[in-house]
């Protein structure tokens, strides 16, 4: 995916007090001069608040800065390996950094008018053969995760709309690598959004990819709601199938 007209990319060489780093950002929203401080929660002071632990690893903040309300996320590894290396990744070049790949994917999906947060900035800090990274995206106003909604009332959820929304992504070949109830947002107007596209991709429509995504979501809903979560998933799955059928027939 090529950079959009408003995207800027800069590489910062190592200095006496900092390692080599780089930044990709939307100059149309953040201005022509990039600042790595956009990706440092401490730079926001009292305008940075940790995102609740649900579905995350304590590595995200709600911030208010140059582009208004945003979400700042530091990339962290999960699982057993993540306990050892935390937030380090092997350096393989700028184009292979997960933050740049996610930024570009979000840029493309946003341009297709899909319900995703607008990407604002992606940055990385190298140290030897490893690097750390972060991503800044626009915040969806007055939104809660589907997981949060279900925790309050498992029987009041937009199952049909969620299935149709997910189908929109699958019809254009999107593979969401971590489709779960924490990464589906519902805003105050009951509109649905999909977030966290780390390791996601877009290619040709692939039914097997969609099925794999939905099975992952199924495990998430069953973990949260047991039999009620399974019942909700069944309804969501039916709506997803119907939307796919309509889309592929169009």
User: Where does the pLDDT of residue 153 fall: very low under 50, low under 70, confident under 90, or very high at 90 and above?
Assistant: confident
In a domain, 1, yes or no: no
- Among the three residues 138, 164, 186, which one is the final residue of a domain in this structure? 138
Across the chain, what does the average pLDDT equal? Answer: 91
> What is the C-alpha to C-alpha distance for residues 21 and 170, in angstroms, rounded to an integer?
34
User: Is 164:191 a contact under the CB 8 Å cutoff?
Assistant: no
Q: What is the pLDDT of residue 249?
A: 76
The position carrying tokens 């169009």 is 250
The answer to whether residue 43 is domain-embedded is yes
pTM beyond 0.85: yes
Residue 64 near residue 43, CB atoms below 8 Å: no
pLDDT of residue 54: 47
Mean pLDDT of the 28-43 span: 94
CATH number at residue 181: 1.10.510.10
Q: How many percent of the chain have pLDDT more than 90?
A: 80
- pLDDT higher than 90, residue 110: yes
Catalytic positions, please? 178
Q: What number is the average pLDDT over the span 225-240?
A: 95
**Given a cut of 50, is residue 55 above it in pLDDT?**
no
Domain that holds residue 88: 7-138
Q: DSSP state, 235? A: H
Residue 55 lies in a domain: yes
How many domains does the structure of the chain reveal? 2
* Cβ atoms < 10 Å from Cβ of 35: 16
């Amino acid at each position: 995916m090529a950079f959009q007209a408003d995207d800027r990319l800069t590489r910062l060489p190592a200095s006496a007090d900092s390692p080599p780093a780089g930044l990709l950002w939307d100059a149309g929203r953040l201005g022509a001069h990039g600042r790595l401080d956009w990706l440092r929660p401490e730079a926001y002071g009292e305008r940075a608040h940790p995102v609740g632990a649900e579905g995350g690893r304590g590595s995200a903040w709600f911030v208010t800065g140059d582009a208004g309300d945003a979400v700042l996320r530091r990339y962290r590894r999960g699982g057993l390996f993540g306990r050892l290396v935390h937030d380090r990744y092997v350096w393989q070049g700028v184009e292979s950094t997960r933050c740049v790949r996610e930024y570009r994917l979000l840029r493309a999906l946003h341009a297709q008018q899909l319900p995703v947060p607008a990407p604002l900035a992606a940055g990385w800090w190298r140290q030897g053969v490893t690097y750390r990274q972060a991503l800044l995206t626009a915040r969806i106003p007055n939104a809660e995760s589907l997981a949060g909604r279900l925790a309050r009332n498992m029987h009041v959820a937009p199952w049909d709309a969620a299935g149709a929304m997910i189908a929109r992504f699958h019809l254009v070949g999107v593979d969401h690598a971590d489709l779960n109830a924490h990464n589906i947002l519902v805003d105050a107007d009951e509109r649905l959004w999909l977030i966290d596209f780390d390791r996601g991709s877009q290619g040709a429509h692939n039914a097997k990819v969609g099925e794999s995504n939905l099975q992952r979501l199924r495990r998430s809903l069953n973990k949260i709601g047991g039999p009620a979560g399974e019942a909700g998933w069944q309804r969501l799955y039916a709506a997803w199938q119907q939307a796919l059928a309509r889309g592929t027939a169009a």
